[in-house]
Structure 1
Amino acid sequence: MEPPSSRPSDAGGGAIEIVVTDPAWHRLIPNAGAIVRRAACAAGMAGTVVLASDRVLRGLNGRHRGRNKPTNVLTYAQPAPEVILALGVVRAEAAAQGRRPADHLAHLVVHGALHLGGAEHDHPGQARRMEMAEARILHRIGVPNPWKHR
């Protein structure tokens, strides 16, 4: 089992720190830290990835986006790059999409890293470019394309 915070790594992109605030992540995805590190590095991310609870994401989403519900991933560029993921939302989305939770976690880490790099998906063209970038990065680490219909 990983400690609540693991050592930074500078393989790939930049230094990655992984903070696990909800230990239930270890039950859902026993190797979550390794998956996060691999996905973040493949996406060229430097910063912190926090594996949190839905309650934490609900509070942040309400405070910063005016939405009183948890979301799968939030990204913050300031004061330091950070990607925060909600356990229950990630688990539910993976089940609804028929995907392995580990693959969905990798996808959302890449998604958050791309947001930190300035990618957006507010418009169809932006969304398509972001989906293509996600698929390319995930392919490099052996994760199935989440946008391919089964």
Structure 2
Amino acid sequence: MLDVAVQHESDWPELDWDAIGAKAAAAAVEQTPFGELAAADAVIEIAVRLTSDDEVHQLNRQYRGKDKPTNVLSFPMIEPDLIEALTQNSDDGEVILGDIVLAYGVCAHEAAEKGISVEDHATHLIVHGVLHLLGYDHQGDSEAEAMESMERAALDTLGIPDPYLVRED
């Protein structure tokens, strides 16, 4: 089972972020080999924080050495190759996968540039963050293509168009 807890600050629109976060996380996990684990008896926990650019800026500087806000940060709590073993061997059947943090200003600005809703863009960023928690990355071209393919597939199940299509207006 996948348990997603969402905390949001007042700058974010009043939406059912718990449901949005849960659907985005589930869609992401289903695109990976970990999908079967999420359906098993173990409880896999993810925390999502929807916050300000200032907070994300501080976290980005502290943990990544980058002195600017970014759209999403992921903080995995366990190594991906240990997830299956931990879900099978944890005392209480719970595994804390990690935390995802989104910056409202950056997210809203990017959504406006793309001509999409903040909700859809935040959903994409949560999918992206969950894949990072599961060990996927986009450092090289092949890694980026694989991760983007999983993102597209997850978002398609949620009725959200491909965020990587180049729009010509």
Question: Scaled by the length of structure 2, what TM-score is found?
Answer: 0.75
* More strand by percentage: 2
The 2-side partners of 1:116 and 1:36 are apart by 14
Of residues 159, 162, 166, the one that matches 1:142 is 159
User: Would the aligned equivalents of 1:103 and 1:144 in 2 still touch at CA under 8 Å?
Assistant: no
Question: Scaled by the length of structure 1, what TM-score is found?
Answer: 0.83
User: Would the aligned equivalents of 2:71 and 2:106 in 1 still touch at CA under 8 Å?
Assistant: yes
2:58 corresponds in structure 1 to 59
User: Would the aligned equivalents of 1:110 and 1:137 in 2 still touch at CA under 8 Å?
Assistant: yes
- What is the letter of the counterpart of residue 65 of structure 1? R
User: Would the aligned equivalents of 1:48 and 1:83 in 2 still touch at CA under 8 Å?
Assistant: yes
The 1-side partners of 2:152 and 2:20 are apart by 16
1:19 and 2:7 matched: yes
1:97 corresponds in structure 2 to 114
What SS is found at the alignment partner of 1:43?
helix
The 2-side partners of 1:31 and 1:147 are apart by 25
The structural deviation recorded for 1:32 is 3.2
1:133 corresponds in structure 2 to 150
Aligned residue pairs, count? 135
The structural deviation recorded for 1:37 is 1.9
1:112 corresponds in structure 2 to 129
User: Would the aligned equivalents of 1:26 and 1:32 in 2 still touch at CA under 8 Å?
Assistant: no
Structure showing greater relative contact order (alpha-carbon pairs closer than 8 Å, 6 or more residues apart): 2
The 1-side partners of 2:116 and 2:17 are apart by 15
The structural deviation recorded for 1:31 is 3.2
1:34 and 2:19 matched: yes
Identity, % of aligned positions: 37
User: Would the aligned equivalents of 2:111 and 2:118 in 1 still touch at CA under 8 Å?
Assistant: yes
The 1-side partners of 2:28 and 2:52 are apart by 24
The 1-side partners of 2:106 and 2:65 are apart by 18
Runs of 5+ unmatched residues, structure 2: 30-43, 79-95
Q: Select between 104-113 and 41-50 the one with higher mean Cα deviation.
A: 41-50
1:4 corresponds in structure 2 to none
The structural deviation recorded for 1:17 is 0.8
Larger of the two Rg values belongs to structure: 2
- Give structure 1 regions of 4+ aligned residues with deviation exceeding 3 angstroms: none
User: Would the aligned equivalents of 1:119 and 1:130 in 2 still touch at CA under 8 Å?
Assistant: yes
What SS is found at the alignment partner of 1:38?
helix
The structural deviation recorded for 1:38 is 1.1
